[in-house]
Structure 1
Amino acid sequence: MLRRATSIGARRAWRAALTLSTLCSHSLLARWNFPTAVSRLQRCIVDNLPTPLEHIFATAIGFLGSASSRTCHPIKREQFTNWALLLLLHCVERASNDAKLLYTYNLARAFHGINRTEAAELVYLSVLQHCHRWWYIPTTSDVHSTHHPPPQYSALCPNICSTTESLCSVHSANPLTAVLSATVHNLVRIYIARGDLNRARRLVLVRVRSSPR
């Protein structure tokens, strides 16, 4: 009975949290639901209720979607963004080694999306450093490599390929390749925007010259 009650409570908490993204444009509803949803979400995490990381990740993406809405009030935008970053950090900390890369990449993309480019750069670089130990930064010819990513990436990969449409063909062949390619692509964008063309060129050269180990 206790286990059943716990799972019902967790489902209700997640339902309340996930509906937040659909309520952000309605200020009265958002004002009433935001603290309620957050407190329930917090209770789930603190009490170690059965809350799959996929649900936490989906909630974080919902918060980011709410923050990006043009009708979202600036104060609420900051609240949504901060909670999304906290939830993504929670995913990175709790994830297994196989899934950690994907959550780390999405954390970097979240920082990048709110123009915190220095934080985004550091997290993108950690993605590359993590991959370099057991993978490689692939070239176009390596897309159909015999190396295959862990199955966990396939379950979550629809969330990783919105950075650039050109990755769609790569993404369908190898989700991990898409993560690495998008990471390099976004780092190059950061360096070019900063005017650091030498670092951008070096990163592109590293990408082109890398090969399977």
Structure 2
Amino acid sequence: MPLSEKDKIVKAVDDAYLKNKDRLIKFFSDKGFNKSESANLAHTMKNAVYFLETHEYDRHDIEISLRNEIKEELASRKKEIVSLMGSKNILKDIIPEMDWDAMLEFQIKLIDEHEFNKTRAGKNKSLQMALEPLFWRFARLQIGQSRQVNIVFDLFEDFNFDDYARDDYHTPNQILGKKEKKERIRKQFQQPAMKSRQGYAALFGWAD
């Protein structure tokens, strides 16, 4: 049976991580993290490294394909849950201890709150989501926000991602150098990751 587009991307994501796992561990080790921390930080990059190696012109097409398939799956899942809500009395008879109303409503809320149901496609949207675990891990390790941005900038340089390894250059409106690129990381990746973390903390009752 041929793989779906999503499954092809998932396989490519897994392959990219396995290929770069040791490289990532060394990168974080060189940044001063111990062996265990470096391995954990490398693992947070499991879904992100594929997008770092994918050209920006291809990322948007991949994003649209992946988004469409996942949104279809989410819609199908929501339809199934709504159907279950019509049969919740049967579920209550089977497991009366379970608060089925709250459980099913929570599952629908998770689907409605999925990033693909709240945002539009963009060449870096999937990368933004894939980098969230890295920033969350930094926060757990109490790494300051400026250092977080510096590490991610160096990571982007190491992978020659987009223009991050490029020397300073002029655009019609400004000069783009390290300072401007780091500010871009802060706005495009770090801030959304922290906002997402706060949202999940509120949703699941995590101690933030």
TM-score (norm 1): 0.29
Task: Identify the structure with the greater helix proportion.
Answer: 1
Of the two structures, which has the highest relative contact order with CA contacts closer than 8 Å and spacing of 6 or more?
Answer: 2
TM-score (norm 2): 0.29
